[in-house]
Homo-oligomer: A and B are copies of this chain.
């Protein structure tokens, strides 16, 4: 896996000193190299990462507060970047986000390395917390904002809590990508799920309203 493309697409850490993308990239690629060699996450020390990347430990600590934050950046750079939202409708934005989730699921299945990295991350509570706080929570806040926009502009019902609605929309794809590694993720699934969720699973002809 190369970070050459993905690295430029996210902002990375900001630490009050001039950044050097080349240095950051070599540090992150050093981690991937160690992981590819089968070194377990628990044995990845800042010292070993620095040695592999050919930099001093201080160079790493200037950019990341510790192993957890650094590792989360590695995962974030390896995942597809967050997509641009069309903004044409809440429905269209939801389809794009769901499609992103589907693609991330396909990528995790096809990349043994990414698969292992995520599995190891889940077994380390500190790193999982860092990933959750830095990646998952901001993503959820963005989803909530879209749903609130839909409630405001009449695209979505207002009688369901935004957090519950969020799980109703993204939960089905999450289950198929994360909990059910054998479930089909065919093209068009994102759109089908979003539309079925918006219109309901009851046949239109039998609606009493």
Q: How many residues of A contact B (CB 8 A)?
A: 41
A160 touches B201 (CB 8 A): yes
Using known A-B contacts A157-B202, A203-B156, determine if residue A197 contacts B178 with beta carbons closer than 8 Å. no
Q: Tell me which of B157, B165, B167, B199 contacts A183 (CB under 8 A).
A: B167
**B-contact 0/1 string along A140-179, CB 8 Å cutoff:** 0000000000000011111010011101111111111011
- A residues sitting closer than 8 Å to B (CB atoms) are 123, 154-158, 160, 163-165, 167-176, 178-180, 183-184, 189, 192-193, 196-207, 209
Q: Are A192 and B154 in touch, CB under 8 angstroms?
A: no
Report the separation of the CA atoms of residues A156 and B201 in the bound assembly, to the nearest whole angstrom.
Answer: 6
Closest to A140 in B: B180
Question: Within the assembled complex, what's the spacing in Å between the Cα atoms of A93 and B41?
Answer: 45
Given known pairs A167-B172, A167-B176, A176-B167, the reply for A160 and B203 (CB within 8 Å) is: no
Q: Are B206 and A154 in contact (CB under 8 A)?
A: yes
A176 vs B170: C-alpha distance in the bound complex, in angstroms? Answer: 11
Query: Which 3 pairs between the two chains have the least Cβ-Cβ distance?
Result: A200-B200, A171-B172, A171-B175
Check B167–A175 contact: CB distance below 8 A: yes
By a CB distance below 8 angstroms, the chain B residues around A174 are 171, 175, 179
Q: Are B206 and A169 in contact (CB under 8 A)?
A: no
Bound together, the chains give a CA A136 to CA B6 distance in angstroms of 38
Nearest chain-B residue to A147 (Cβ)?
Answer: B201
Minimum distance in angstroms from A186 CB to a CB of chain B: 9
The answer on a CB contact under 8 Å between A160 and B192 is: yes
Cβ contacts under 8 Å, A203 to chain B: 154-158
**Are B198's CB and A198's CB within 8 A?**
no
The reply to whether B123 and A201 form a contact with Cβ atoms under 8 Å apart is: no
Contact at B183–A163, with CB atoms within 8 Å?
A: yes
* Inter-subunit contact A201/B157 (CB<8 Å): yes
On whether the beta carbons of A201 and B168 are closer than 8 Å, the reply is yes
Least distance between A184 CB and chain B CB atoms (Å): 8
